[in-house]
Amino acid sequence: MRAAEQPEFSAVLADEDLTNLSQRGIVKALPRNVMVVTEGDRTDSLYIILSGKVKVFVSDANGREAVLGLQGAGEYFGEMVLDEGPRSASVMTVEPSRFVIVPKPQLKQFLSDNPGFALHLIQKLTRRIRTLTENVRSLALMDVYGRVARLLLELASDQDGKLVVTERLTHQDFASRVGASREMIGRILKDLVAGGYISITRKRITIHRNLPQRW
């Protein structure tokens, strides 16, 4: 049930690129739960995360959210600035964070002068397209349980021979990521725990054996 392996890629910038880009922007600090950019806003800059963590999401008029992902130190967002269209998603801090904000003219000049960073940007956009394709496939072809199982396996990493999810996820976090209700998420996780497939503590979710094909 694990998604097909993708080529090795780090979303974190190389130290040299991070330092050089940081010199072309201004530093801004924001507390937890503050909107950094809003979907539909004018795109005019790239944001590099120096510290902290943010969530990237889309929402509708009723306040329902679909979380596209989390980003941390060394990563960046706002690369859609290159097509001069509106922001395609909103970004909010989930913990106190610091950013370097690089205006579009400086970013374009940096891309021209640094082909290594340009390649990293292309790889990141390609990775995003692959992820979005898999998400569309999941929503169209999988039931809610299948999407939950897929998310667990994508987030898990090997620790001492066990698959462990260290990211702290509430039922609402799961619901936002897989397009389901909190109640449905609660029932699925409860059944997986009862069946001995996973265990859940405050700090982690441990996958003890292969998740069932169907719920």
Answer whether residue 109 is part of any domain. yes
Answer whether residue 32 is part of any domain. yes
Given a cut of 50, is residue 157 above it in pLDDT? yes
Domain enclosing residue 52, as ranges: 15-139
Domain shared by 130 and 147, yes or no: no
**CA distances from residue 126 to 54, 118, 121 in whole angstroms, order as listed:** 21, 12, 9
Which of the residue ranges 24-28, 69-73, 138-142 would you say has the lowest mean pLDDT? Answer: 138-142
Given a cut of 80, is residue 9 above it in pLDDT? no
Given a cut of 90, is residue 133 above it in pLDDT? no
CA separation for the pair 190, 198 (Å, rounded): 9
Question: Which one, of 14, 25, 15, 37, lies nearest residue 109 by Cα?
Answer: 25
Please tell me the predicted confidence (pLDDT) of residue 187: 95
Domain shared by 36 and 78, yes or no: yes
Domain boundary among 119, 139, 159: 139
Domain shared by 52 and 101, yes or no: yes
Domain shared by 122 and 148, yes or no: no
Please tell me the predicted confidence (pLDDT) of residue 8: 62
Q: What share of the chain is helix, strand, coil (3-state, %, to 5)?
A: 40, 30, 35
Mean pLDDT of 7-17: 76
Average pLDDT for the chain: 88
pTM for this prediction: 0.69
Domain boundary among 100, 119, 139: 139
Please tell me the predicted confidence (pLDDT) of residue 6: 47
**Residue 113: alpha-carbon gap to chain centroid:** 28
Mean pLDDT of 155-168: 90
Return the higher-pLDDT residue of 22 and 92.
Answer: 92
Domain boundary among 123, 139, 155: 139
Q: Quick one: what percent of the chain has pLDDT higher than 90? A: 49
CA separation for the pair 133, 180 (Å, rounded): 19
CATH classification of the domain holding 175: 1.10.10.10
Domain shared by 115 and 35, yes or no: yes
Q: What is the total count of domains within the chain? A: 2
CA separation for the pair 94, 108 (Å, rounded): 29
Which pLDDT tens digit goes with each residue over 25-63? 999 999 999 999 999 988 889 999 999 999 999 988 877
Domain shared by 134 and 175, yes or no: no
Please tell me the predicted confidence (pLDDT) of residue 5: 47
Q: Per the structure block, which two tokens stand in for 170?
A: 């509430």
Amino acid, res. 101: I
Please tell me the predicted confidence (pLDDT) of residue 91: 96
Given a cut of 80, is residue 3 above it in pLDDT? no
Mean pLDDT of 71-84: 87
